[in-house]
Amino acid sequence: MAEHLGIFEQAVLLALVNPRTPLGREGYGRAILKEVEHRLGREVAAGAVYATLDRLEQKGFISSHLADGSSLRGGRPKRHYTIEPNGLRALHASRRAADRLWAGVRLPLKGVS
């Protein structure tokens, strides 16, 4: 049985599936942060994204490699993340679980203007 992902974990994984940020199709920390903020529609603490990336990597849902950094970042390297098949499966399972949960419910819900 696939592991259930929280909303934040889903946002981070989706940022790696289909990034659409002003930074382009990048999969490093800062770009993921911007993509997650875009998807959730609010400002997000950088620490929350790094903690989630760390956890997802430990679970084998994503992998990472280092790349050279620009002078803008003081020459410090970038860690690029890639989603792994396990991560894709977990995302699929989360989507299917949400679909099952919402099956038969018509939107907008009564009482919501």
Partner 1 sequence: MNPPRGSEWLLRLVLSARDRDTVSGDLLEEYRETIVPARGDAAARRWYRRQVAGIVWRSTRTPIVAGVLLGAVLGGGILVDTARHPLADDDAAVMLAWFAAILGAWTAASAAIAWRTRRFGQAIAAGVLLGAATMLVFHVAAIARVVVFVDTIRARDDWQELVGRYQASGFHTLRA
Q: What angle do CA 55, 11, 93 make, to 5 degrees?
A: 80
For residues 8 and 11, what is the distance between their CA atoms, to the nearest angstrom? 5
Number of helices (H), then strands (E), in the chain? 4, 2
For residues 84 and 78, what is the distance between their CA atoms, to the nearest angstrom? 19
Does residue 7 touch partner 1 according to CB under 8 A? no
For residues 52 and 69, what is the distance between their CA atoms, to the nearest angstrom? 22
Does residue 8 touch partner 1 according to CB under 8 A? no
Q: Which of residues 17-76 bind partner 1 (CB under 8 A)?
A: 28-30, 33, 45-48, 50-51, 54, 58, 66, 69-70, 72-74, 76
Please, which residue, 17 or 66, has the CB nearer to partner 1? 66
Please, which residue, 3 or 54, has the CB nearer to partner 1? 54
Cβ of residue 48: shortest distance to partner 1, in angstroms? 7
Binding site for partner 1 (CB under 8 A): 28-30, 33, 45-48, 50-51, 54, 58, 66, 69-70, 72-74, 76-79
